[in-house]
Amino acid sequence: MPPVAVPNEAPKKSLRIAIIGQSTFAAEVFKLLLKDGHQVVGVFTVLDKGNREDPLATIASQNGIPVFKYKSWRIKGKVIPEVLEEYKSVQADLNVLPFCTQFIPMEVILYPQYQSICYHPSILPRHRGASSVNWTLIEGDTTCGLSIFWADDGLDTGPILLQKSFPCTIDDTVDTIYNKYLYPEGIKALSESVNMVANGTAPKINQTEEGATYDPALFKAETHQIDWSKGGVALHNFIRGLDSSPGATTFIKPQTKDSENENIEIKFFGSALWEGEYEAEGDVIIIPGLDKPAVIHDGGLLITANDGVKLNIQRLKVNGKMINAQNFYKANENKVSLELTDEEKQFVENARNIWKAILRIDIDNDTDFFDSGAGSMDVVRLVEEIKDLVNVELQNEDIYMNTTFEEFYMIAILKARGDSSNQEIKYEGVEMEVNKMKIKFATQLFIDGQFVDSDSGKTLTLINPSDESVICKVQSASKNDVDKAVNAAKKAFEEGEWSKISARERGQILFKLADLMEQHKEELATIESIDSGAVYTLALKTHVGMSIETWRYFAGWCDKIQGSTIPINHARPNRNLTLTKKEPIGVCALITPWNYPLMMLSWKMAACLAAGNTVVMKPAAVCPLTALKFAELCVRAGVPRGVVNILPGSGTVCGQALADHPLVRKLGFTGSTEIGQTIMKSCAASNMKKVSLELGGKSPLVIFDDCDLEKAVRNGMASVFFNKGENCIAAGRLFVEESIHDEFVRRVVIETKKMSIGDPLNRGTAHGPQNHKAHMDKLIKFCERGVKEGAKLVYGGNRVDRPGYFFEPTIFTNVTDDMWIAKEESFGPIMIISKFNSKNMDEVIRRANDTEYGLASGVFTKDVSRALQFAEKIDAGTVFINTYNKTDVAAPFGGFKQSGFGKDLGQDALNEYLKTKTVTIEY
């Protein structure tokens, strides 16, 4: 019999309606009937469960409609007289049964003028019975649907009023069919049916017995036992048909990796036919009735049916507790303790009130939803109310897998942050009491949301540059570790939560990450200080402070990345529209230096993630600790697994593997020009991956005699000595006009002698240790060469006589253009001063440009015309006028020539991690 459907028309008259049933579904029907102008004269529903009444009863009471609650309408097959009289008292024209679990006597069904209509979730006459949706899936139907029929004493054999059909795919479940079709369309269909009755257009089409089925209810235990002798497709259909409740069941012996004992019950949920061409690897489970063992892998439990068809199971219920299938052998692992914002704390209390309204009991963190009497319709109500509260789309399975209140609000918060899996975090790390605080950080690689050891077993020994003591050993990534991380990032980009959430939700996650960094800024600055030698106060303000600003800036960009429309020549007369889309590139690799470990990570990664990419990042081998602490904060902020991967390791192994990897589509690098050239070659040879390089510098600072000399001295010192000279835009050479040269040098020496050198954690320290010994040794040789070439060493040039890698701030004068120290970057606290004559401005600009580097530059002068001419003619990516080192997260940063190409920071940085797609449409 073909489905019957009549276009919905407004009712020509109002009917007096009795609603008989229960659930949120019935409550929505109630609201729609009132909206259509009908009069609900009575609601007949079930008894309260403990202190909880049905949602239909609640909404009826709120609208002043009489509510009648019955345990039963009949005793020994006969209608209860008192119940019948109460029902008759409302004088309904029509009974509407939206979702009714009780047997309604024919005396009630036939009493109204228009009798009774009932909702059924199948295309009758197929799948008559209480478990019709389940049987639609179990039988592998390709079409599902709903029927509105005239109720009779069989309750689903009466004449058809209206039917609707919908496609049913091999991947559908009870929940997807219900949420896509049966719930929203069923509510509308009942409203349409009532209006048809009111308008006199409602048909009565007798059901045919052709194709009729009488499927048993799936309430008894024996009806949901899995028959493993069936083929893979039949097994998949059976499991998904029982996916919400009660679950497809089997018995196995409790298994560890080494032993087996007596039988236990396991229920299977979330089946999908396996399309992978490879064999999954992992631990095995022996299931009686299957020829091959099932395999636990990182995507679930892979079952091979006896006909060779494979299906993958996502969730298991073991001993009454729902778990992810891949965690079958993982017990009692510590879950991450989320640090909640004030807004999230308020959400917890609002959610607690929702639970209290549903369960009618006080709610503690360990209150179990189902142990407290909740049923399947309460799950639907909870999902809907949470969506109304915070616009978070929970699934029914989220409730079944997180049954206590604490588990529930944790998963809801993670969902709101963009991660649907309650990630677990566990790591081997170090706890220290330092800088009057406790700090803690991981010492393992961070791959796919987990801290793990390296395949190779190799480690990096980290030295505290302030006293040369060993901080700890950190795992060093192998080529195989790189491959794992890249594949995890690829999966997260293509299939994970990161690919599903909106740009605005992505921004919310990055804002939360910035907030967490703010909360941990003292700890991050302390770790940065002991690991890289950064002065604590500077680390707090710049290393960490600017990192936080960077994440907040790019979080704000997430939902503002957009393309444009273009009026191409073919737009008329053929009506063509051309538009561009800005899309993420995919898996990006980032390799960062050791001078600003956290800030360099943030400058690159924030733009990368804001654009929607995933990332594998290699921090500098000598100071990776803040990157590993950052990885921990990513988990706590709800960044989905696989989106961020952190791989401490050597450049020759880990860095090279990233440059060579064929699945990496973009590489961002900050470091030396020599290494940049090697990386660029590797990127071209591997897969022509996009590259951005921020490389060496020899930035000129030109100081004219009309400057504010005091300001020039102060800024000139900062341009060289800031962060111990380990600064990519440090002024590598100062050109000071002859007339003020000697006075400038005199003042600089006086001020340099005042600089306090010592423990970077001491709040009064201005100059800390160099990052590592090899670099300090390089600075000593740099100074020795300068003296040998004839430059005048005015101050410093030596290692400080104390433990640690302390090097004196150094000043050279009488430096000529041909000297090696005038051309090469020291990357340390070494001021190189040359004289110039302002009579020929073009000459000093020529000298300043006479280098293969072009990262930054500066000029001090009160002559605005001269300053702007300098800015126009200098060949550098950044120009400072009467200031220096004043970078900002909104201002693009990057160099020219052999200082590299591409930009960090500002809107321009986003373009480094986006690709532009052009789309032309003819209409």
Residue ranges of the annotated binding site are 102-104, 156, 651-656, 671-672, 778, 825-827
Q: Which of 181, 196, 177 is nearest to 4 (CA)?
A: 196
Cβ neighbours of residue 318 under 8 Å, at least 6 residues apart?
Answer: 264, 266, 328
Check if the beta carbon of residue 168 is closer than 8 Å to that of residue 142.
Answer: yes
Q: Is 707 a catalytic residue?
A: no
Q: How many helices (H) and strands (E) does the chain have?
A: 28, 40
Cβ neighbours of residue 655 under 8 Å, at least 6 residues apart?
Answer: 591, 618, 649, 679
Cβ burial 622-635 (10 Å sphere, 16+ → b, else e): bbbbbbbbbbbbbb
User: Token digits for 790?
Assistant: 């004839």
Q: How far is the C-alpha of 547 from the C-alpha of 562, rounded, in Å?
A: 25
Q: Beta strands of 665-818 (E only): which ranges?
A: 666-670, 690-694, 699-703, 731-737, 792-795, 810-813
Q: Which of 98, 174, 160, 99 is nearest to 132 (CA)?
A: 174
Residue 551 carries which side chain, given as an amino acid letter? Answer: W
Q: How far is the C-alpha of 27 from the C-alpha of 41, rounded, in Å?
A: 14
Q: Is 118 a catalytic residue?
A: no
Matching residue, tokens 């064929």: 662
Please report how the helices 503-519 and 597-610 are oriented relative to each other, as an axis angle in degrees rounded to 10: 160
Q: Is 275 a catalytic residue?
A: no
Using DSSP's 3-state secondary structure scheme, residue 922 falls into strand
What are the binding residues for (6R)-10-formyltetrahydrofolate? 102-104, 156
Instruction: State the DSSP string of 313-356.
Output: EEEEEETTEEEEGGGTT--SPPBP-PPPPHHHHHHHHHHHHHHH
Cβ burial 85-97 (10 Å sphere, 16+ → b, else e): eebeebebbbbbb
Chain centroid to CA 583: how far? 17
Matching residue, tokens 């594998």: 616
Give me the half-sphere count of Cα atoms (radius 13 Å) on the Cβ side of residue 869.
Answer: 14
Check if the beta carbon of residue 353 is closer than 8 Å to that of residue 369.
Answer: no
Using DSSP's 3-state secondary structure scheme, residue 400 falls into helix
What are the binding residues for NADP(+)? 651-656, 671-672, 778, 825-827
Distance from the first to the final alpha carbon of the chain: 39
Preceding peptide of 662 cis, ω within 30°: no
User: Token digits for 868?
Assistant: 């702007």
Check if the beta carbon of residue 766 is closer than 8 Å to that of residue 755.
Answer: yes
Q: How far is the C-alpha of 565 from the C-alpha of 362, rounded, in Å?
A: 56
Cβ neighbours of residue 357 under 8 Å, at least 6 residues apart?
Answer: none
Q: Which of 385, 407, 505, 694 is catalytic?
A: 694
Residue 556 carries which side chain, given as an amino acid letter? Answer: G
Q: How far is the C-alpha of 228 from the C-alpha of 721, rounded, in Å?
A: 73
Matching residue, tokens 């709040």: 763
Q: Which of 558, 588, 707, 728 is catalytic?
A: 728
Q: How far is the C-alpha of 541 from the C-alpha of 525, rounded, in Å?
A: 9
Check if the beta carbon of residue 390 is closer than 8 Å to that of residue 382.
Answer: no
Task: List residues bridging with 273 in a β-sheet.
Answer: 311
Using DSSP's 3-state secondary structure scheme, residue 769 falls into coil
Q: How far is the C-alpha of 706 from the C-alpha of 239, rounded, in Å?
A: 83
Check if the beta carbon of residue 366 is closer than 8 Å to that of residue 409.
Answer: no
Check if the beta carbon of residue 882 is closer than 8 Å to that of residue 897.
Answer: no
Please report how the helices 342-359 and 376-390 are oriented relative to each other, as an axis angle in degrees rounded to 10: 150
Q: Which of 28, 53, 120, 634 is catalytic?
A: 120
Q: How far is the C-alpha of 888 from the C-alpha of 905, rounded, in Å?
A: 8
Catalytic residues: 120, 694, 728
